[in-house]
């Protein structure tokens, strides 16, 4: 009975400590489960930690899993701007001061870009990156003649988004989400997350992401990087060209293509996704 009490007390104290540490930061909410080497799960833009629900049973049995939801998304209050740089500083502080060991970062889309940015500026803090359809310069594949220095918060497009009524914004979100997965139900969930997001965070946070160009900075990364890359809608050949062009300054990386998957690989190829993550982390998938 005494040993049981001690074990329960230790568990309770650990949970309380985690809550206290997380409350220090306004830019994210983090939920911690499992024991072992830390793994940070970063969702993509406008998404919450729910996007990784399929990984949790496997990861939590082998690792200490830290699931993040960023400010302005889900039920986490917004923090204003600059948004992404504040998240980066807070996550780095959290990793250095409240986590034992060097975390593995698994990041989808914007979450992967954030992982790259962290690895560039804090090279001794993290052990490796697993990126899910993420790029160091997202704007470069979206805008001809892309120049990150020309991206501003005050633009006609941003003003249009901020002024858009709920009906039109929902229609836009549904259209965008339909191209991110082949699963209609999941596309509806993605759209719902966009609609539920704080509007200014959605607009200005995405501007932060478009302003970020890490292509040259990748030479600073000296930890291994694995990239899971979607092939829809452009096809494997074009996807390979884009990835190799964007990552050419990164020394130690490999690309694994998720054939037939759109942007949300965890939804389009869930079994393949789980097996690939397990293989990369040396988890027994019996």
Euclidean distance between CA atoms 163 and 194, whole angstroms: 16
Count of all residues that appear for the chain in the document:
286
Domains of the chain: total? 1
> The sheet that has 38-42: what strands, in order across it?
28-33, 64-70, 38-42, 104-108, 128-132, 225-230, 253-258
Give me the DSSP letters along 111-145: HHHHHHHHHHH-TTT-SEEEEES--S-GGGGTSTT
Q: pTM of this prediction? A: 0.92
Strands 64-70, 28-33: pairing kind: antiparallel
Query: For position 87, which CATH number holds?
Result: 3.40.50.1820
The residue to which tokens 């992982």 are assigned: 115
Q: What is the dihedral of CA 196, 34, 122, 252, to 10 degrees?
A: -100
Is 17 inside any structural domain?
no
Residue 4 vs residue 62, higher pLDDT: 62
Structure tokens at 25: 């930061």
Is 19 inside any structural domain?
no
The residue to which tokens 């939590």 are assigned: 60
Is 85 inside any structural domain?
yes
- Could you report the per-residue pLDDT of 237-264, keeping only the tens digit for each? 999 999 999 999 999 999 999 999 999 9
The pLDDT value recorded for residue 284 is 79
Q: How confident is the model at residue 159 (pLDDT cuts 50, 70, 90)?
A: very high
Give 273: exposed, middle or buried? Use CB within 10 Å, 0-12, 13-18, 19+: buried
Is 78 inside any structural domain?
yes
Is 285 inside any structural domain?
no
Residue 6 has pLDDT above 90, yes or no: no
Euclidean distance between CA atoms 248 and 218, whole angstroms: 8
Is 3 inside any structural domain?
no
Residue 12 vs residue 127, higher pLDDT: 127
* DSSP letter, residue 77: P
Is 14 inside any structural domain?
no
Euclidean distance between CA atoms 40 and 10, whole angstroms: 23
The pLDDT value recorded for residue 23 is 60
Domain residues for 103? 27-280
Strands 64-70, 225-230: pairing kind: unpaired
Q: How confident is the model at residue 123 (pLDDT cuts 50, 70, 90)?
A: confident
- Could you report the per-residue pLDDT of 48-95, keeping only the tens digit for each? 999 999 999 999 999 999 999 999 999 999 998 999 999 999 999 999
Q: What are the angstrom distances between the C-alpha of 281 and each of 38, 111, 134, 263, 277?
A: 12, 18, 19, 22, 6
Is 13 inside any structural domain?
no
């Amino acid at each position: 009975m005494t040993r049981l009490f001690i074990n329960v007390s230790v568990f309770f104290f650990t949970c309380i400590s985690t809550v206290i540490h997380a409350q220090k930061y306004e830019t994210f909410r983090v939920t911690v489960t499992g024991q072992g080497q830390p793994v940070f799960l970063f969702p993509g833009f406008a998404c919450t930690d729910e996007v990784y629900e399929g990984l949790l049973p496997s990861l939590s049995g082998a690792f200490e899993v830290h699931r993040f939801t960023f400010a302005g998304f889900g039920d986490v209050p917004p923090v204003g701007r600059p948004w992404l740089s504040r998240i980066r500083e807070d996550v780095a502080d959290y990793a250095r001061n409240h986590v034992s060991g060097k975390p593995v970062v698994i990041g989808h889309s914007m979450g992967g870009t954030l992982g790259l940015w962290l690895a560039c500026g804090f090279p001794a803090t993290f052990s490796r990156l697993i990126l899910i359809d993420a790029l160091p310069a997202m704007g470069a594949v979206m805008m001809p003649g892309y120049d990150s220095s020309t991206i501003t918060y005050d633009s006609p497009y941003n003003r249009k988004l901020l002024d858009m009524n709920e009906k039109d914004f929902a229609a836009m979100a549904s259209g965008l989400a339909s191209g991110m997965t082949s699963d209609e139900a999941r596309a509806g969930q993605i759209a719902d997350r966009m609609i539920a997001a704080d509007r200014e965070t959605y607009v200005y946070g995405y501007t932060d992401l478009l302003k970020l160009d890490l292509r040259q900075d990748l030479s600073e990364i000296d930890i291994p990087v694995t990239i899971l890359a979607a092939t829809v809608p452009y096809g494997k050949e074009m996807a390979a060209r884009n990835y190799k062009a964007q990552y050419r300054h990164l020394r130690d990386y490999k690309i694994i293509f998720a054939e037939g998957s759109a942007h949300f690989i965890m939804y389009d190829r869930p079994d393949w996704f789980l097996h690939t993550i397990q293989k990369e982390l040396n988890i027994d998938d019996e």
